[in-house]
Structure 1
Amino acid sequence: MTNTAAIRLLIVGAPGAGKGTQATGLAEAYGIPAISTGDIFRANIKNGTELGKRVQEITAQGQLVPDSLTNDLIADRLTEDDVAPGFLLDGYPRTVGQVEFLTELLARDDAKLDAVVKLETDTDAVVQRLLKRAEEQGRVDDTEDVIRHRQEVYQAETARVIDAYAEQGVVVEVDGMGTVDEVAQRILDGLKARGLEPRK
């Protein structure tokens, strides 16, 4: 693939896997925006958009934002000018329904995801990392049970999403254990092996 073609990526990883840090570096390397659903929700709420008001009403009641609304927010975000060279998704899609929506949305422009970067981590090591972080930041609610439950929810949620993309042959599994730079290099090596050369 040449550097002029749009590069569309997704990064997935368990809570504490360092996904956010890697997403930032990866987006910079490829000269594309990192698109996080959490950031989109917050931006729409802050800007008082109609979608933002709907998200705020739902979250204020302690409910999860439904797929349909999340899909609308993503579809809206992907119409902005800065995604012309591509994008890196973080936190979406989380369900098979969202995978199907995104696949259909991209197909309208004869496009699809070029790669899904899956950070492989050791659960026990990540739990210890998050417990240490909770202690340092005074997060008393982040007990080992709570952290392990989040890991289990992630595995249950993401397994079907990964399976869906594995069928498309776009999953790149990367060892997520090690320093930030070590993991970043492994991700780049995995993407280069698919012909996706960094732009920077």
Structure 2
Amino acid sequence: MIVIFLGPPGAGKGTQAAHIVERYGIPQLSTGDMLRAAVAAKSPVGLKAKAIMDAGNLVSDDIVAAIIEERIEADDCAPGFLLDGFPRTIPQAEMLDAILTKKERAVDAVVELRVDEAALIDRLRNRIKETKARGEEVRADDNEETFAKRLDVYREQTAPLIPYYEGQGKLRAVDGMQTVEAVSAAIDAILDQIQG
């Protein structure tokens, strides 16, 4: 079972990803983690990525796709996996489709967590307040200005994936404004149906 999560920053993708990993026993593939692992393993693609990152540049889609292609060969991905942070754009989605087609696999479901953006800002304010109340350091990217930029990037680059996957009949929308448990239950209902 191959699953992709879509939704703006703060929609709860991380929380739900942890639930899916635990319930379905499939790994969560985070592009950031995979990049770091490929660099640490000094694989050919990892060395290429390291040189680019050391120069302060963003790793190209081709390299990220190559790292994903390498990673999904691992035994733990045989039953499926959850992609986190990829694809973020239509060209990346097309690359992923090509990689999976070559391996005679396909994305089974794209779960879109639909949320009210104004409510996301409230969630962020609450998270900052709770973090401070616990006497902990607030994450550097936990501020409204950075969050607004991340929302803009999501709208411009990632939101076009919604009609892309809708056109493939793979998009499943879930109301992300429900309780964490209700969102998990809605996702389970979708994935249980796929697993058959």
Give the TM-score normalised by structure 2: 0.87
| Structure 1 unmatched runs, 5+ | 1-6
Q: Which residue of 2 aligns with 1:77?
A: 71
Q: How far is the alpha carbon of 1:164 from its aligned partner? A: 1.5
- Equivalent runs, 1:15-164 vs 2, <5 Å: 15-135=9-129, 136=131, 137-139=137-139, 142-164=142-164
Matched residue of 1:94: which SS?
Answer: coil
| Structure 2 unmatched runs, 5+ | 132-136
Contact 1:134–1:140 (CA<8 Å) still a contact in 2?
no
Q: How far is the alpha carbon of 1:57 from its aligned partner? A: 3.1
Q: How far is the alpha carbon of 1:181 from its aligned partner? A: 1.5
Q: Give the length in aligned residue pairs.
A: 190
**Distance in 2 of aligned mates of 1:73 and 1:95:** 17
Matched residue of 2:194: which SS?
Answer: coil
Q: Which residue of 1 aligns with 2:187?
A: 187
Sequence identity percentage: 41
Q: How far is the alpha carbon of 1:120 from its aligned partner? A: 0.8
Q: Which residue of 2 aligns with 1:9?
A: 3
Q: How far is the alpha carbon of 1:91 from its aligned partner? A: 0.8
Give the TM-score normalised by structure 1: 0.85
Matched residue of 2:151: which SS?
Answer: helix
Displacement over 4 Å in runs of 4+: none
**Distance in 2 of aligned mates of 1:71 and 1:43:** 14
**Distance in 1 of aligned mates of 2:180 and 2:43:** 36
